[in-house]
Chain A
Amino acid sequence: MNTQKKEILVKIKNAGIFKNNKWLVKDVSLEIYKGNIVSLIGPNGSGKTTTAKIVLGIYQDIHGSVQRFTKKISYVPQKILIDWSLPIRVIDFMVLTQKLENNEIEEALKLTGAEHLKNNSLTKLSGGELQRVLLARAIAKKPDLLVLDEPVQGVDFSGEAALYELIKKISESLKCGILLISHDLHMVMSSTDFVICLNGHICCSGTPISVAQNKEYQKLFGDHASQVLSLYKHNHDHDHSTDGSIKKKIN
């Protein structure tokens, strides 16, 4: 993969968050370039969302360094809870952090298949519909960096494939960088440029093929992983306890 010539968007180095006497994530380094899709995978509680929030600058006391080279950032959070007491329609939500022309709103909603929801109340949408609206809002302002935290959860099976296809298309047409958190290993392995496998720290990272062959990855994902891999010998020097912290292997 040739990333040398590409414009860098975010660079984080040895970043971590220490909260309540525990490292949520530790020593995470990654770079995101324009036009590339970087994906984060890992079990529950492995720090994927935390890492995304470090990239976005939501946390204030971060260890390590974070550099962002763009301000045009869009975020699709993992979940968004809106109380009934707040009356907000899809069109109000589309312009939450940005100014948009009516045709830009419609175009973005059309891309994610949500144009018919424009005047609906956000609280009345189903999980899948809400995901489509979240994605539409994020792409509407044509960001340089798009951070997607489980962007297709709750979307039906056929819609899921179409949305992943769309995400790939977006990264090509907008030339934006994408940080993607996903459970869908097939999508991750087939369509992303760089994969980071997290478990409190970076277990392994690299191109999808090299990660698929990694023993750490195989161990984390078990049977799922075996669909995509051929066995590959790997120097394995540590192990994990149930909370994700590292146990040194005793030989």
Chain B
Amino acid sequence: MSLEESSKVTRMIILGPAANISQPELIRKLHMMELPLTIKSTCYGAVVNGEESVVNKAVEQARNLDYCNIFTKDRGFPPGDPRRCRAKRGGAREGFHQLEKEFELLGFVSEALEHPKKVSLKKPTKISVDTFKEIAKECEK
């Protein structure tokens, strides 16, 4: 691993199930940005690798293509790394099963992002014994 490579970051761009953009379209748009990036086409979207500021710019622009349906996350290993790449090892890449599991919920997450609601973070508290007695008495009547 060279010094140049060690300063680079990798991010996964994942298309939600209700995304208005297809995976090949996403790859094309990423290439059209003309940024100095390594772009890998994947079944869930894309993996981009490059300098942090460039990757962040690409991710931001990609997210704007469909704000509520495009998700991103960091990835430790660079794309095609022989320690993780499916082509070299066979079987699913580590982390793929987790992605698969979380993908099941992404549709609902997009829905929640599109229609935000106000919720309270306060936990429901227990009522006092006196109040409970009053309620019990009222029910007896």
- A and B: interacting chains: no
Contacts from B to A (Cβ < 8 Å) = none
